[in-house]
Amino acid sequence: MTAAAGGHRLARAPATAALLIILAQASGLTRAQTDDPGASGAAPRAAEHGQHRPQEAAPDHAHSLSLDGAGAVMNENAGTLPRDCAEVSRDQEITVYAGREFAAEFPGNTFGLSQHEYYVEPCSRITVTFVNNDDVRHQWMVHGLPRYLYPTGMFHIEAAGGHSRTGTFIVPSDHRTYLVHCDMPQHMERGMKAQLKVGRGSGDLWSIPGVSGDFERDSYLPRGITLWFLLAVLSGAAIFSLLTYRRGGLTLPGGARRHGVRSDREA
């Protein structure tokens, strides 16, 4: 073919992405977000970014979907046990509210959830009622569940503005932390991020409002900080000079006495 240049585009792995993979693995981010390590989570997303697959085959029909004007529930599972569970350990119910009002307590957030951390028992059956107090759509999406039970590892509730939807799913037995978020553009980034801890969980994810810090935190510095910093440097130098050039030398912790250069010469 004359037109198309040869060679498929390989996954670009810029240094930043590689760094993130390392950091993510070190922090348990990857482990927490996916069932097969390295296949999912924020870091691999970074590694694969830019791959162009605009006309991907039709949506995954393995998903089960209940869709109406109030929203949608995807991959609901109230009956099938994960392979590693002999029985449902417990039925747990969670009601989550979503909307701008829940961001108010976190400066710099625009969207929020009434609860950003959920604790459940291994093998428990969880019924989530997701109440949307805003006038626009929001989502409560869990990632990293077993793919044999939940296509693409996802359980997803979407509530239209002013509506609520309820959905049920069963978690496996291992102690892990799962990512919960609203996947609408910039909603997770602006506060709609939470974590679901099964049992003891597997550590905290980054950027959970009220729980964990931002990996890329903005700098909030006042005007004139450069001058302030230079002043601090000068002050440090002045303090050092005062201490070391005092007649009789510098008093070190522990009472030992050390003579400065000038005292040596005088001696």
Partner 1 sequence: MIAIRKRWVVATALLVALLSFPPQWYPRPLRVQSAAWFGASDYRSLPESEAMIDDVVEEACPVDASGWREERVIEDIRIRRSPTCLVDNPYAVAAFVRGTNNVSQQVLLESGLTPDAVEKGRDLDGDGDPDEIHIRLEVTELNGSSPELDLPVTQFSIAPGITPGLWVFSPKALGMATENFESLTAQTLLRLPSPAIRIEQGDRVQITLENTHYMPHTLHFHGVDHAYRDANGEGNDGVPITSEIPVLPGNARTYELQPRVAGTTFYHCHVQPHVHVTMGLQGLFVVEENRPNNWVQTLNVGSGHVRAPSRAVAERFDREYDLHYLDLDGDLSSRIQRFNDPRLITKSMHRQYDVTDATSDYFTLNGRSFPYTFREALVVARPDERIKLRVVNGGPSGIALHTHGHKVTVTHRDGVEAEPAARVTRDVVWIAAAQRVDLALDTTNDGLHSYGSGVWLFHDHQSRGVTTDGIGPGGHISAIVYEEYLEENGWPRTSGVPWGPYFTEAYYRKERPIWASYAPGLFSDTGVDVWLVARLTVLGLATGVIVAAAFSGLRRRGAE
In a 10 Å sphere around its CB, with 0-12 CB exposed, 13-18 middle and 19+ buried, how is residue 150 labelled? Answer: buried
Nearer to partner 1, 28 or 161 (CB): 161
Asked if 59 touches partner 1 (CB under 8 A), the answer is yes
Nearer to partner 1, 125 or 138 (CB): 138
One DSSP character per residue, 92-146 reads EEEEEEEEGGGGTTSTT-SSEES-SEEEE-TT-EEEEEEEE-SSS-EEEEE----
Question: In whole angstroms, how close is the CB of 45 to partner 1 at the nearest point?
Answer: 5
- Segment interacting with partner 1 (CB under 8 A) among 58-66, 163-171, 225-233, 256-264: 58-66
Q: Which two tokens stand for residue 167?
A: 């959905």
Q: How many residues bind partner 1 (CB under 8 A)?
A: 74
Contacting residue, 64, 95, 110, 244, with partner 1 by CB under 8 A: 110
Provide the mask over 9-48, with x wherever binding to partner 1 is found by CB under 8 A and - wherever it is not.
xx-x---xx--x------------------xx-x-xxx-x
Question: In whole angstroms, how close is the CB of 249 to partner 1 at the nearest point?
Answer: 24
Asked if 114 touches partner 1 (CB under 8 A), the answer is no
Calculate the CA dihedral of residues 100, 105, 106, 109 and round it to 10 degrees.
20
Question: In whole angstroms, how close is the CB of 159 to partner 1 at the nearest point?
Answer: 11
Provide the mask over 224-263, with x wherever binding to partner 1 is found by CB under 8 A and - wherever it is not.
----------------------------------------
Contacting residue, 215, 228, 229, 240, with partner 1 by CB under 8 A: 215
- Can you say whether the dihedral through the CA atoms of 183, 184, 190, 192 is positive or negative? negative
H or E element that contains 250 = strand 250-251
Nearer to partner 1, 107 or 253 (CB): 107
Cβ distance 228 to 238 under 8 Å? Answer: no
Calculate the CA dihedral of residues 240, 242, 244, 248 and round it to 10 degrees.
-160
Nearest to 137 by CA among 71, 50, 52: 71
Asked if 105 touches partner 1 (CB under 8 A), the answer is no
